């Protein structure tokens, strides 16, 4: 479904909701994720519109149908991660026993008792690696199919987002700030109006989990201190 420029102007006006008489607050954004290094040099975006609401509105307008189902893919991903964990533990056991055997005389009774166990453990390790490769390949094949479907769905669902952004005046364009060595964005003053914060960060200790913050900024205080941590973030599990 195509939309005229006038319709996008109306959508932008409704969602940005500029308030000329709003208080002009000074913002202090503090990142508290992981250790100190995880919260430094993090990009924080400030938008004059509610990003998730805009996308939801476009989905409703464009009517792309249901988003492609990922349940089968995520189940396969869970299986792959379980095999990764088991194979890592087994590899540690194989390495430990190999080191023990290397420090023994191969003529000793203890060596002759442990060596068959080591051979069996090493054989099991090879079988698990073969299984891991098989599951991973199946996952990659299914992932490629799923991503193609999702990209096609997004191109329909979010059609018009570029036109929507073109309707936003330059002074209300997205502002990007970066947390400093103190894990802060401080003394930030934004143009009059309603503003939203958007930030994404890899969840510490994970390979495919992302922390996402989307929140409206208060405008009823002179000074606003906002803490971003895991308790007020949405966790998004990415494909790997």
Q: In what order do the strands lie in the sheet with 175-178?
A: 175-178, 43-47, 196-202, 209-216, 234-237
Residue 56 lies in a domain: no
Cα atoms found within 13 Å of the Cα of residue 25, Cβ hemisphere only: 19
Residue 137 lies in a domain: yes
Residue 127 lies in a domain: yes
Closest listed residue to residue 195, CA positions, set 59, 27, 55: 27
**Token pair listed for 122:** 């090493």
What was the pLDDT predicted at 220? 85
**In the block, which residue shows the tokens 């792309």?**
64
Per residue in 201-212, pLDDT (tens digit) is 999 998 889 999
What was the pLDDT predicted at 77? 86
Question: Is it the case that residue 4 has pLDDT exceeding 50?
Answer: no
Cα atoms found within 13 Å of the Cα of residue 77, Cβ hemisphere only: 16
Q: Which of 157, 177, 208 is the last residue of a domain?
A: 157
Alpha-carbon distance 200 to 116, whole Å? Answer: 50
> CA 137, 204, 86, 93 torsion: positive or negative?
positive
Closest listed residue to residue 14, CA positions, set 197, 217, 180, 194: 194
What was the pLDDT predicted at 12? 52
Q: Alpha carbon of 57 to those of 10, 149, 166: distances in Å?
A: 12, 21, 17
Instruction: Determine which of 13-17, 98-102, 153-157, 230-234 has the lowest per-residue pLDDT on average.
Output: 13-17
Residues 224 and 180 in one domain: yes
Per-residue pLDDT band for 64 (boundaries 50, 70, 90) equals very high
Alpha-carbon distance 24 to 212, whole Å? Answer: 26
What was the pLDDT predicted at 238? 80
Per residue in 112-171, pLDDT (tens digit) is 999 999 999 999 999 999 999 999 999 999 999 999 999 999 999 999 999 999 999 999
Question: Is it the case that residue 195 has pLDDT exceeding 80?
Answer: yes
Residues 233 and 179 in one domain: yes
Residues 97 and 141 in one domain: yes
What residues does 226 pair with on adjacent strands? 29
pTM to 2 decimals? 0.72
Q: Compute the average pLDDT of residues 184-199.
A: 94
Residue 2 lies in a domain: no
Q: Which of 107, 123, 157 is the last residue of a domain?
A: 157
What was the pLDDT predicted at 36? 87
What is the total count of domains within the chain? 2
Full residue range of the structural domain in which residue 126 is found: 71-157
Alpha-carbon distance 111 to 107, whole Å? Answer: 7
* Number of neighbours of residue 176 by Cβ within 10 angstroms: 11
Residues 22 and 219: beta-carbon distance below 8 Å: yes
Question: Is it the case that residue 40 has pLDDT exceeding 60?
Answer: yes
What was the pLDDT predicted at 1? 42
The CATH number linked to 225 is 2.60.40.1120
Q: Is 210 left (phi over 0), alpha (psi -120 to 50) or beta?
A: beta
Question: Is it the case that residue 91 has pLDDT exceeding 80?
Answer: yes
More confident: 2 or 26 = 26
Q: Which of 157, 178, 206 is the last residue of a domain?
A: 157
């Amino acid at each position: 479904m195509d939309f005229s420029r006038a319709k996008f102007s109306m959508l932008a006006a409704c969602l940005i909701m500029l308030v000329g008489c709003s208080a002009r607050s000074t913002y202090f954004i503090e990142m508290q994720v992981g250790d100190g290094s995880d919260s430094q040099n993090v990009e924080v975006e400030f938008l004059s519109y509610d990003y998730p609401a805009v996308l939801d509105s476009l989905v409703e307008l464009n009517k792309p149908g249901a988003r492609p189902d990922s349940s089968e893919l995520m189940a396969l991903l869970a299986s792959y991660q379980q095999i990764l964990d088991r194979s890592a533990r087994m590899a540690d056991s194989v390495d430990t026993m190999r080191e023990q055997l290397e420090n023994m005389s191969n003529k000793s009774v203890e060596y002759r008792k442990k060596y068959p166990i080591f051979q069996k453990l090493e054989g099991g390790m090879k079988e698990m690696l073969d299984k891991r490769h098989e599951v991973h390949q199946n996952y990659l094949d299914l992932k490629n199919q799923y991503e193609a479907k999702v990209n096609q769905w997004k191109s329909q669902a979010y059609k018009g987002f570029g036109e929507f952004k073109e309707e936003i005046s330059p002074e209300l364009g997205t502002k990007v700030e970066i947390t400093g060595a103190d894990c802060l964005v401080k003394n930030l003053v934004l143009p009059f109006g309603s503003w939203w914060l958007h930030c994404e960060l890899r969840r510490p200790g994970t390979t495919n989990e992302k922390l996402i913050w989307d929140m409206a900024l208060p405008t009823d205080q002179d000074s606003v201190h906002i803490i971003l941590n895991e308790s007020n973030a949405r966790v998004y599990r990415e494909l790997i």
